[in-house]
Structure 1
């Protein structure tokens, strides 16, 4: 502010132009102390939480004092981001000052929480879930959540701790429940299962084969030995339309007597047991001797 002072003598008779004067005085009001203020890029979050603090103080501050609640401080107007690595509550305070003094402190609270505990989730694939014994099945881990250990049970009394175990052979027909549990430092997953169904293979049907008749010709009542494979232990021999029952000690030969027949007769064998049960063999020819005419 500017002020003008005027001095007037009380004795007018003594007043002359040389004894009067006008003087100007300038009075400057003091600058007030600044007011602190700031913003935070986040006031809560999961550790590690990086927070940027930005000064919004007024009143022309010339110095700054930050305390971040984690033991660190700064005198920069806009400090680098502060990272809070541990869960907790942190009080961040700013005081600003200039030649007129310091502001009152201003504070914001930063709340940091631990990351959620996440256990892995178990899952796997199987190269087959059904088939005839012996059935070899390969199991492949497809679990998520960064597991570090695996526990497999295969339903046949065997187990494994490998991530991707060797193929498991199921040699006996049955239903097998395969289970996987995975875990890491946060804990264990819920178990996940698959069912493997193993069946008994259907019998392989092998047709009997006649390789030879001995003899291959003869009269009615001739003892004939049929040799070959796949005859089983019991069955029937057809001489043309005549059916003969047989037994075989080794499934490789049959002894029969040539029944009534004439000329060239087809001979076939049909086992009633073994792998060839119900299947007819190839046919071979038994040649009957000619019967002399009686004149």
Structure 2
């Protein structure tokens, strides 16, 4: 008779995997919604749980939601997004990406230089008194067929008399 021991249960070592996701846009305006999509693949099996920390106005987490998920960002700032995934074998992977930038809502504040040209043709100076945010492109329409893309336009020529609607967008 020999003494032998047999083990009925064995441990199982699984392959590691890396959680991953993408965002619809890394720069959005305050008050806008970003869309996130999971790209995680596990060599062990299927992903069965997703926990999103979106840091937006929908709350801190959305649990057991695959993708896509969305979150609205009303306040300017830099946001880090975290995704934790678990596969059907119980293995977990978490990734955090500092990838979402939400500039504060810009305020349009323009000096129209008095807004009157007394002797047509003449030029009018427009001065943007708002904050020059590098994330924004300012689009000016001077109502006379001319436009400008940028923070402060050069003097604008008005050849004919009249009333002109001037607009600035970003």
The normalised TM-score by structure 1 is 0.32
Shift of 1:119: 2.2
Does structure 1 residue 66 correspond to structure 2 residue 52? yes
User: Greater RCO between the two (CA within 8 Å, min separation 6)?
Assistant: 2
CA RMSD after TM alignment: 3.4
Alpha-carbon distance in structure 2 between the residues aligned to 1:28 and 1:115: 55
1:97 aligns with 2:119: no
Tell me how far 1:101 sits from its aligned partner: 2.4
Q: CA deviation at 1:116?
A: 3.3
Match of 2:68 among 57, 79, 87: 79
Counterpart of 1:255 in structure 2 is none
- Call closer, same or farther: CA 1:48–1:140 in 2, change over 3 Å: same
Instruction: Decide whether the 8 Å contact of 1:35 with 1:104 is kept in 2.
Output: yes
Checking the alignment, whether the CA contact within 8 Å between 2:86 and 2:93 is kept in structure 1 is no
Q: CA deviation at 1:58?
A: 1.5
Gap runs ≥5 in structure 1: 1-8, 10-26, 130-138, 147-295
The whole-number CA distance in structure 2 between the counterparts of 1:86 and 1:140 is 41
Aligned match for 1:113, one of 68, 84, 103: 103
* Matched ranges for 1:138-149 at <5 A: 141-145=163-167
Contact preservation (8 Å) 1:36, 1:96 = yes
Structure 1 residue 67, shift from structure 2 partner: 0.9
1:259-274 aligned at under 5 Å gives the runs: none
Unaligned 5+ residue runs, structure 2?
2-9, 121-160
In 2, Cα distance between equivalents of 1:44 and 1:35: 25
Measured in 1, the distance between the counterparts of 2:162 and 2:70 equals: 45
Residue by residue over 1:25-65, the C-alpha shift from the partner in whole angstroms, topping out at 9 and shown as x without a partner, is xx894544653111112222332332211111111211111
Match of 2:150 in 1: none
Which is greater in Rg?
1
Aligned counterpart, 1:36 = 19
Give the distance between the partners of 1:77 and 1:45, measured in 2 at CA: 23
Say if 1:124 and 1:141, in contact at 8 Å, map to a contact too: no
Q: Distance in 1 between matches of 2:18 and 2:103?
A: 31
Shift of 1:111: 1.4
User: Does residue 46 of the first structure (1) align with residue 29 of the second (2)?
Assistant: yes
